[in-house]
Amino acid sequence: MPAVSKGDGMRGLAVFISDIRNCKSKEAEIKRINKELANIRSKFKGDKALDGYSKKKYVCKLLFIFLLGHDIDFGHMEAVNLLSSNKYTEKQIGYLFISVLVNSNSELIRLINNAIKNDLSSRNPTFMCLALHCIANVGSREMAEAFASEIPRILVAGDTMDSVKQSAALCLLRLYKTSPDLVLMGEWTSRVVHLLNDQHMGVVTAAISLITCLSQKNPDEFKTCVSLAVSRLSRIVSSASTDLQDYTYYFVPAPWLSCKLLRLLQCYPPPEDGAVKGRLVECLETILNKAQEPPKSKKVQHSNAKNAILFEAISLIIHYDSEPNLLVRACNQLGQFLQHRETNLRYLALESMCTLASSEFSHEAVKTHIETVINALKTERDVSVRQRAADLLYAMCDRSNAKQIVAEMLSYLETADYSIREEMVLKVAILAEKYAVDYSWYVDTILNLIRIAGDYVSEEVWYRVIQIVINRDDVQGYAAKTVFEALQAPACHENMVKVGGYILGEFGNLIAGDPRSSPLVQFNLLHSKFHLCSVPTRALLLSAYIKFINLFPETKATIQEVLRCDSQIRNSDVELQQRAVEYLKLSSIASTDVLATVLEEMPPFPERESSILAKLKKKKGPGAVSVTELEDSKREGGELNGGGDRGQDTATMAASNASTPSPSADLLGIRSTAPLGAAPASAGSLLVDVFSEAGPTAPSAAVNDDGFLRFVCKNNGVLFENQLLQIGIKSEYRQNLGRMYLFYGNKTSVQFASFTTTVSCPGELQSQLNVQTKPVEPLVEGGAQIQQVLNIECLTDFSDAPLLNIKFRYGGALQNLTLKLPVTINKFFQPTEMTSHDFFQRWKQLSQPQQEAQKIFKANNSMDTEVLKAKLLGLGTALLDNVDPNPENYVCAGVIQTKSQQVGCLLRLEPNAQAQVQHTDSPERVSHNYSSIPNFLHYLSPYSVNI
Amino acid sequence: MHFMLLFSRQGKLRLQKWYTATAERDKKKMVRELMQIVLARKPKMCSFLEWRDLKIVYKRYASLYFCCAIEEQDNELITLEVIHRFVELLDKYFGSVCELDIIFNFEKAYFILDEFLMGGEIQDTSKKSVLKAIEQADLLQEFH
C-alpha cells in the first residue's frame, strides 16, 4: 500500500495498482487488467448514472492501464465529461487523460475545445492554467486553430495573474512550434518582449523561452530584446547569492534564467550599441571570474548550476567569435575542466573546445592542451568521453601536430570501440592526406590504417591512396616497396590486397631491380592471396597481371598459364571469365608496342574534392566538427595536390566517384576513356566538369562560384549543392527586368534554424543593378524546401554579379555560405533578327577599338553543331541563319536592355575544326560607349572554352 | 526538451512525458532502446550521451532513472538540475519520495511535473511557487 496518499486518494485505484504489482506473471497481469476493463466498461454502460468520483476513479484506472502499455479504446467520452465538472480534482483527471490519450476523433476535439474555452474564460486562474496545460500538452493543429489568437491576449493582459501568464507564454510557444503560421504576434510583439522586464522572475523565465523561439524566426522584429536581456543578465550576475530568494539555486542566482538569457543573445550578433556591448562583456567577464572563486557549497548542484551558466557564456563567446581576450580565457577555463574529477565536466569541456579550435583567436590556445586530450583518449573509461577526445584531436589538428595526432589516433584505433571505428578511420585518412608533407608518411599511415582496421576502411579511403600515389611520382617507388612488404604478412586484409595489386600492377617495375622483389616474386606474392579474395578483388588482380605482362615480359608465360587454367577462363563469374579470356587473347596477339600503349601507366587523376571528405560529411551530419570547419582548415592547410581544388569543396560525391577507379572497372577501360586525365563528361554535366577544373578568374576563397558559370547560358537548374543544402534556381527575364526564384532545400532530416539569406550588390554594382527580395522563413524543416523570389532590374550595364549570403544553424554549428548569383548582362539580351546585308553593314561600322573585341580559344570538347547552337541561343541572342557566307560560322545579334540605354550586340563564332580553335568576333555598339563589352566577352569566354 | 522518462533499475517505465508529437509505436521503441542504453552504463560514466539527433541527460536517484532528451544546442548541466529540482519537488510533496509513491500516486507525479515543466520548457524554477500551485489544487480537492 502507498506510503502517502495526499488530497483525496482513490482507494479503489490503490487496490487495483497493488493487485497488478502482485501479479506473478505477464499473463496474470493481463488477466487482471481484462477483468478491470470489463468492470469499467459495464459501469460506464450501466443504467445507473455514475457520480463524479466514480467516473474520475475509473478514468484514472484506464489511464494507469494505458501507461502500463496496454491499448485503451473507450472512456474518452467520460473523460471529456469530467472536463466540465465543477470539482477541480475531477476536471484535473479529465484533462490528464485527454493530454495523454487524445485522438483525432473530431467529435471529441470539438467537445474538448468547448470545455477549454469555458475554462479559459472562467477567470478562475487554476482552471485557466489547467486549460492552458491541456492545449500545450496536446499541441495539435486543431487546438492551434481554436486558440492561437486568444492566448497572446491572455499573456499580455494587465489583469492576468502571474501563474496564468507563465502558462500562457509556454502554451503559446508550444503552438508556435507546431503551427507557426497560426501564431501571429504582430501588435503584441513589443509587449511580449517587455515581459523580460517583468518583476516576477517566474514570468520572465517562462516568457524568455517563448521570446527566444520567436527571435530565432523573426530576429528583426524582436531585436529590442537584446538590450533588455543584457540588462536583466547584468542584474542577475551582479546580485549576491541570496538576493533572489527562491530563485537562487544552491547559492547560484537564477541559473535557469541566466542560461536562457545567454541563449537568447546567441540568436543575435554582438550588440552594436557600445554601452550595451560593454555591459555584456562585463557580465561575461564576471561569469568567467566566478568560475575561479572557491565554491560556496560542496554540493554538485551548486557546481552544476554555476557551470551551466559558464558553458552557456562560453557558447556565446564562441558565437560572437570577436573577443580574442574572452576566447582565450574561455579556452583556459575549459583546459582546467579537462582534468576535472567530474566526468561530466571533462565531457563538456572536450565538446566545447572542439568549437573553440575552429576560431582563429583560440586555435593556438586549444592546441596547448594536446597532451591532456591524448591522455583522455587513452585513459577515459567512458567511450562517449573518448569519442569527444577524438573529435577534439581532429579539430585541433594542423600541420604542426598532425604527425603526433595521427599516430595517437592510429594507436587508439587498435582498441577503439567498434561503434566509432569507421569514423575514426575516415578522420585519420583525412588528416593524413590534408597535412602530408612527405608522401611516404601518408602512404605508411594509410597502409597502417588498412592493417589495423581493414574492415572499417571504406572504398573511398583506398581509392584515395591510389589516386594520390598515381598523381605523385615521387612516392610511387616507396609505395610499391611498402605494399610489397605489407603483403608479406601471412594474413593480410583484402583491402591491402587491392591496394597492393593496383600499385604493383602500375609501379612494380620500380622495385623489380631488387632480387628479393623480382617480377616473379611479386607475381607469386599477389597470386598467393588470389584464392582467398572476393570476386571484385580477383578482377582487380587479373588486371594487375596483364599489366605485369607489359611491365615484365619474362612473366608472360607464367601469367598466361594462370589465365588459361579452367578456374579463370571458365570461371562461373562472367566478369572474371571475360577478363581472363580477353587478357589472355590480348597478351597473345598484340605486339609489344600495342601492348605498351594499351597498358600504359595510369594517367593522373583529375583533382577534385577528396572523396573521403565527402564521405565523412555524409556520415557525420551535425557532428562536433562541422563541415565548414573542415573546409576552412583544409583551405588553410594547403592540399596535397598543390591547391588545385581550392574553392571546389562542393564537388559532389558523384563527381569524385567518377574519377576513382572502381574495383570492377577495367583498367583498360579507364585508360581508353580518360586520355588526358579528364573523366568523360556525360552530356548533362558538360559544363560542370570543365568548369570545375579551373575557373578563368581566380575565385576568392570565400565566395563559391562553382555553379555560377553554368548559368550563363541557362536560367534554370541547381545552383549549389552540398551534403546539407540544395539551392535550385528558376529565372525569367523580360527587357531590363528579371525575376528569379530561389529554392532552398534542406537535404537533412534535421531542421535548419536561423536561416537567413541576404542578397547584396558589391561595389559599383549597387548603382547598376537593383535587386529586391523579402526575407525567408527562418526555419527550414528537415526535408523541406522554401522559396524566395528576387526582383531584378538592370539599370545600366554591369560586370560583377550580386552575392547571395546564406546563414543557418545546422545542429549547433553555424553554416555560412556565399554564392555568386548568376545574373549576367546577357540575361537582358533581346534577340534581334536581321538580314545578312544589315548585319555586315553594321558590323563594318563598328570599327573603333572599344567597340570591338576578339578572342581565340581552344575548344575543350568536340564542336557539336547542335550543342553550340543551343548555347548561343541560351546566351539570349538570336541565331541568324544564312547570314555569314561561310556556313561553318555562327552569327548572332541581340540588344541588351538596360534602364538607361539599349546596346546592340553582334557576335560571330568561327570554329576551326582542324585546330579545334574558335574565334569570336566583335559585339557591336549602337548608342553609347559600351564599356562592359570586354566583360561580356569574359563571360562568354569561359563558356566558349567548353564548346 | 523532447521528452522525459522515469524508469526503474528493473526496466519498468514509471512516468513518461512527451513534448513533441510522437506515435505510440515509436514511443515504445524509443523507450525500450533508451532503457537498454542507460541501464547498461556504469555509475562513473558521464551523464550525457548522443542518441539519434538528440542529447540524452540522465541521472539515477535510488532505484529510479530520470532521463531527458534535449536538443543539440540545449544545456546539459542545467538539464541535470531540472531533473534534480523535479526530484526535490516530488520529495517535498510526498515527504522523502520513493518509487512506490510514484507508482501509487502516478497522477500526482504528472501534476507536479506539469506545474514545473510545460511544453518541455521550465514554467517556474521556484520550489515555493510550484508547490504552492500544487497545494492549492489539493485544497480545492478537499473543500469541494
Confidence of residue A7 (pLDDT cuts 50, 70, 90): very low
Confidence of residue A642 (pLDDT cuts 50, 70, 90): very low
- Whether A60 has a binding-site annotation, put simply, is yes
Name every chain B residue with its beta carbon within 8 A of the beta carbon of A809: 73
Confidence of residue B36 (pLDDT cuts 50, 70, 90): very high
Residue of B nearest to A175 (CA): B119
Question: A132 is written with which cell numbers?
Answer: 492552458
- Crossing angle of helices A535-551 and A519-530, in 10° steps, is 170
Residues 6+ apart with CB under 8 A from B52: none
Q: Residue A619's pLDDT is what? A: 61
Coil, strand or helix: which one is B42?
A: coil
Q: Residue A609's pLDDT is what? A: 59
Question: A81 is written with which cell numbers?
Answer: 465529461
**Is A32's pLDDT higher than 80?**
yes
Q: Residue A631's pLDDT is what? A: 41
Are the C-beta atoms of B105 and B40 separated by less than 8 Å?
Answer: no
Residue of B nearest to A165 (CA): B123
Are the C-beta atoms of B45 and A381 separated by less than 8 Å?
Answer: yes
A745-763: b (≥16 Cβ within 10 Å) or e:
bbebebbbbbbebebebee
Are the C-beta atoms of A128 and A120 separated by less than 8 Å?
Answer: yes
> Does B40 contact chain A (CB < 8 Å)?
no
Nearest to B141 among A7, A129, A259 (CB): A7
Q: How many helices (H) and strands (E) would you count in chain B?
A: 5, 7
Tell me the pLDDT tens digit for each residue of A432-472.
988 887 888 999 999 899 888 888 888 888 888 898 898 88
Coil, strand or helix: which one is B51?
A: strand
Query: Cα–Cα–Cα angle for A475, A481, A487, nearest 5°?
Result: 125
- Whether A59 has a binding-site annotation, put simply, is yes
- From A181-195, A564-578, A634-648, A870-884, the region with the lowest mean pLDDT: A634-648
Contact B103 A21 (CB under 8 A): yes
Give the side-chain half-sphere CA count within 13 A for A227.
Answer: 6
- Which comes out higher in pLDDT, residue A344 or A941? A344
Nearest to B44 among A86, A308, A381 (CB): A381
Contact B94 A6 (CB under 8 A): yes
- From A18-32, A565-579, A658-672, A769-783, the region with the lowest mean pLDDT: A658-672
* φ/ψ (deg, to 5) at A890: -115, 135
Q: Which of residues 59-78 of B touch A (CB under 8 A)?
A: 72-73, 75-78
Q: Residue A668's pLDDT is what? A: 33
Tell me the pLDDT tens digit for each residue of A694-735.
333 333 335 666 677 778 888 888 888 888 888 888 888 888
- Which comes out higher in pLDDT, residue A172 or A639? A172
Coil, strand or helix: which one is B67?
A: strand
Are the C-beta atoms of A724 and A751 separated by less than 8 Å?
Answer: no
B interface mutation test: which of A92, A124, A309 has the most B CBs within 10 A? A92
Q: Residue A103's pLDDT is what? A: 61
Q: Residue A930's pLDDT is what? A: 32
Confidence of residue A913 (pLDDT cuts 50, 70, 90): low
> Does B47 contact chain A (CB < 8 Å)?
yes
Residue of A nearest to B22 (CA): A138
Residues of chain A above pLDDT 90, percent: 31
Q: What DSSP string runs through A771-824?
A: EEE-PPPS-B-TT-EEEEEEEEEE-S---S--EEEEEEEETTEEEEEEEE----
Contact A263 B75 (CB under 8 A): yes
Are the C-beta atoms of A391 and A350 separated by less than 8 Å?
Answer: yes
Q: CA of B62, closest CA in chain A: separation in Å?
A: 16
Rounded CA separation A735/A333 (Å):
61
Residue contacts between A and B (CB atoms, under 8 Å): 195
Residue of B nearest to A300 (CA): B81
Coil, strand or helix: which one is A743?
A: strand
Nearest to B75 among A139, A177, A308 (CB): A308
Rounded CA separation A740/A717 (Å):
12
Q: CA of B138, closest CA in chain A: separation in Å?
A: 5
Q: Residue A703's pLDDT is what? A: 64
Coil, strand or helix: which one is A505?
A: helix
**Is A822's pLDDT higher than 50?**
yes
* CATH number for region A705-823: 2.60.40.1230
Judge if pTM exceeds 0.80.
Answer: no
Tell me the pLDDT tens digit for each residue of A479-531.
999 999 999 988 889 999 999 999 999 999 999 888 899 999 999 999 999 98
**Is A152's pLDDT higher than 60?**
yes
Q: CA of A750, closest CA in chain B: separation in Å?
A: 8
* CATH number for region A826-940: 3.30.310.10
> Does B131 contact chain A (CB < 8 Å)?
no
Rounded CA separation A224/A205 (Å):
18
Residues of chain B above pLDDT 70, percent: 97
* φ/ψ (deg, to 5) at A570: -115, 25
Strand A890-897 to A878-880 pairing: antiparallel
Residue of A nearest to B138 (CA): A7
Q: Residue A897's pLDDT is what? A: 85
How far CA A9 is from CA of A89, B49, B95, in Å, comes to: 11, 39, 16
B interface mutation test: which of A10, A71, A256 has the most B CBs within 10 A? A256
How does the average pLDDT of chain A come out, rounded?
Answer: 80
Residue of A nearest to B56 (CA): A384
* φ/ψ (deg, to 5) at B59: -150, 145
B79-103: b (≥16 Cβ within 10 Å) or e:
bbbbbbbbbbbbebbbeebbbebbb
Cα A764 to chain centroid, rounded = 34
Rounded CA separation A729/A831 (Å):
23
Nearest to B95 among A4, A87, A255 (CB): A4
Q: CA of A139, closest CA in chain B: separation in Å?
A: 8
Contact B81 A163 (CB under 8 A): no
Q: Residue B83's pLDDT is what? A: 96
Q: What is the DSSP letter of A84?
A: T
Q: Where are the domains of chain A?
A: 433-598, 705-823, 826-940
Q: What is the DSSP letter of A718?
A: E
Contact A812 B73 (CB under 8 A): yes
Nearest to B81 among A88, A257, A305 (CB): A305
Residue B53, amino acid: D
Rounded CA separation A882/A863 (Å):
20
How far CA A934 is from CA of A520, A849, A854, A928, in Å, comes to: 62, 11, 9, 15
How far CA A892 is from CA of A61, A664, A744, A797, A848, in Å, comes to: 83, 47, 35, 20, 20
Residue of A nearest to B54 (CA): A811
Are the C-beta atoms of A647 and A684 separated by less than 8 Å?
Answer: no
Q: Which ipTM value was assigned to this complex?
A: 0.95
**Is B60's pLDDT higher than 50?**
yes
Contact B78 A255 (CB under 8 A): yes
Nearest to A3 among B42, B98, B122 (CB): B98
Residues 6+ apart with CB under 8 A from A342: A300, A303
- Of A618, A697, A609, A614, the residue nearest A646 (C-alpha): A609
Highest mean pLDDT among A85-89, A668-672, A923-927: A85-89
**Is A102's pLDDT higher than 60?**
yes
Q: Residue A11's pLDDT is what? A: 83
Are the C-beta atoms of B116 and B81 separated by less than 8 Å?
Answer: no
Residues of chain B above pLDDT 90, percent: 59
Are the C-beta atoms of A465 and A499 separated by less than 8 Å?
Answer: yes
**The two domains A705-823 and A826-940 share their CATH topology (first three levels equal):** no
* Number of other residues whose CB lies within 10 A of the CB of residue A475: 21
Nearest to B111 among A92, A206, A308 (CB): A92
Tell me the pLDDT tens digit for each residue of A268-324.
999 999 999 999 999 999 999 999 999 989 999 999 999 999 999 999 999 998 888
Structural domains of chain B sorted by starting position, each given as residue range(s) with its CATH number in brackets? 3-143 (3.30.450.60)
Q: What DSSP string runs through A92-120?
A: HHHHHHHHHH----HHHHHHHHHHHHHHH
Q: 3-state SS of A556-623?
A: HHHHHHHHHCHHHHCCCCHHHHHHHHHHHHHHHHCCHHHHHHHCCCCCCCCCCCCHHHHHHHHHHCCC
**Is A644's pLDDT higher than 70?**
no
